Structure 1
Amino acid sequence: MDTRELILTEARKSFSENGYAATSLRGIARSAGVDVALVPYYFGNKRDLFVAAVEMPVKPAEAIAHAFAEGPEVAGARLVDTFVGIWEDPATGPAFVAMFRSAMTHDDARQALAEFASKEILGLYARGLGDIDPEEARLRAGLAASQLVGMVMLRHVMRIEPHASLTHEQVVALLGPTVQHYLTGDLGA
């Protein structure tokens, strides 16, 4: 593993376990066994390192392309299935929980996560909708994302019942039609 990847691995671990505020560049360097000057050399500052850490647990383009593979007309349930699977996966879920918690309490983390979601996630959703008006595509993407983010906040971040105990299949069955409506249905606006 090269130095940059080693730093990034330790950063993900620290953000996940300690949150944004308690994570320091010095602590990450110590855990990675590298000189602290290498962290800003590769990533600039803590916010940029956080952005890099958010981007890496999964490859959004691949996950979203999979959800839209059979076309936007049937992407709702597939999008929910993919999104929920990422949050339930022990390799990716805890990092996302930590990132969302950090974003709720620290402006730098919130800004970094918002930038990532806006540029990466919503843009990919909008492109998955095909050849429609770009403004409508962003609106539809945001509406679909609001359902997904709301559910993961209840299930994984705040762990509110009965949402936290729903099975994967139940979440897909409950949210799939609503997400599908937001993607391709009549918005009445």
Structure 2
Amino acid sequence: MSPDVPRRSDATRAAILRAARARFAADGYQRATIRAIAADAAIDPSMVMRYYGSKAGLFAAAVDVDLRLPDVGGIPPERLGAELVRHFLRRWEDSAAEDDALLTLLRSAATDEDAAQRLRGVFREQVQPVALRLAGGDPDKAGRRAGLVATQLLGLALCRHILRLPPVAALSAETIVEEIGPTVQRYLTGAR
């Protein structure tokens, strides 16, 4: 088999993950079933179990989130807030929102404590180190800053992509960057 041709198992795994993200997003973790996810992926439920072992294992794989944050060292300090907002907007809007693990996790976290814990972990492990670097190594200050950044970015995702709040959903990406960027900047740098 040519290395350029994906293996059938890779395609099956990808189909399962797409179906799982959509199902978890629509039904939440508790109501989503392996049988429904398998039907959505047009495969036998035993294949889901073969690849992921359990519903919990499948959920963990479906919401494995890498924020792919930019290197803040390469961004002028006065542009950090705007660039972070722009990064998240591109991440959500340049890919299929229904296939986005972060949005799936956000939807599920509202009703499931395990999902909420996983979402807290994403921000603790990926956003807090950025804030720590900007807070001069002070972990308390970094935790507070990362948490406040999360309020803006997750609130934006909730209002724009999940609730589709008309005033927010209708804004251009650049308007959102202009409006929210300064707030995120203040949270990141502690400037008043």
Secondary structure of the residue aligned to 2:74 is coil
Partner of 2:43: 33
What are the ranges of 5 or more consecutive residues in structure 2 without an aligned counterpart? 1-6
Moved more, 105-114 or 122-131: 122-131
Secondary structure of the residue aligned to 1:174 is helix
Normalising by the residue count of structure 1, what TM-score does the alignment of the two structures yield?
0.75
Partner of 1:144: 149
Residue type of the partner of 1:7?
I
Q: CA deviation at 1:98?
A: 4.1
Residue type of the partner of 1:88?
E
Moved more, 38-47 or 170-179: 38-47
Identity of aligned residues (%): 40
Q: CA deviation at 1:147?
A: 1.3
* Whole-angstrom CA distance in 1 between matches of 2:98 and 2:15: 20
* Whole-angstrom CA distance in 1 between matches of 2:85 and 2:73: 11
How many residues are paired up?
Answer: 181
Secondary structure of the residue aligned to 2:165 is coil
* Whole-angstrom CA distance in 2 between matches of 1:128 and 1:5: 35
Residue 135 of structure 2 is aligned to residue 125 of structure 1: no
Residue 111 of structure 2 is aligned to residue 105 of structure 1: yes
Residue type of the partner of 1:173?
E
* Whole-angstrom CA distance in 2 between matches of 1:159 and 1:92: 12
* Whole-angstrom CA distance in 2 between matches of 1:110 and 1:26: 24
Instruction: After TM superposition, list the pairs within 5 Å mapping 1:9-20 onto structure 2.
Output: 9-20=18-29
Larger radius of gyration: 2
State whether residues 81 and 184 of structure 2, in contact with CA within 8 Å, keep that contact through their aligned partners in structure 1. Answer: yes
Output one character per residue of 1:101-137: Cα deviation in whole Å (capped at 9) or x when no partner. 2221233333333333333x33453355375223322
* Whole-angstrom CA distance in 1 between matches of 2:114 and 2:144: 25
* Whole-angstrom CA distance in 1 between matches of 2:137 and 2:78: 13
Q: Is the alpha carbon distance of 1:11 and 1:161 closer, same or farther for their aligned partners in structure 2, counting shifts above 3 Å?
A: closer
Q: CA deviation at 1:172?
A: 0.2
Q: Is the alpha carbon distance of 1:29 and 1:94 closer, same or farther for their aligned partners in structure 2, counting shifts above 3 Å?
A: closer
* Whole-angstrom CA distance in 2 between matches of 1:49 and 1:68: 35
Partner of 1:70: 75
Q: Is the alpha carbon distance of 1:93 and 1:167 closer, same or farther for their aligned partners in structure 2, counting shifts above 3 Å?
A: farther
Instruction: After TM superposition, list the pairs within 5 Å mapping 1:164-179 onto structure 2.
Output: 164-179=169-184
* Whole-angstrom CA distance in 1 between matches of 2:133 and 2:76: 8
CA RMSD of aligned residues (A): 3.0
Residue type of the partner of 1:26?
R
Partner of 1:51: 60
* Whole-angstrom CA distance in 1 between matches of 2:133 and 2:53: 32
Q: CA deviation at 1:73?
A: 4.3
Output one character per residue of 1:49-107: Cα deviation in whole Å (capped at 9) or x when no partner. 22321225xx42x3x12566325542110000011222223424564444322221233
State whether residues 72 and 128 of structure 1, in contact with CA within 8 Å, keep that contact through their aligned partners in structure 2. Answer: no
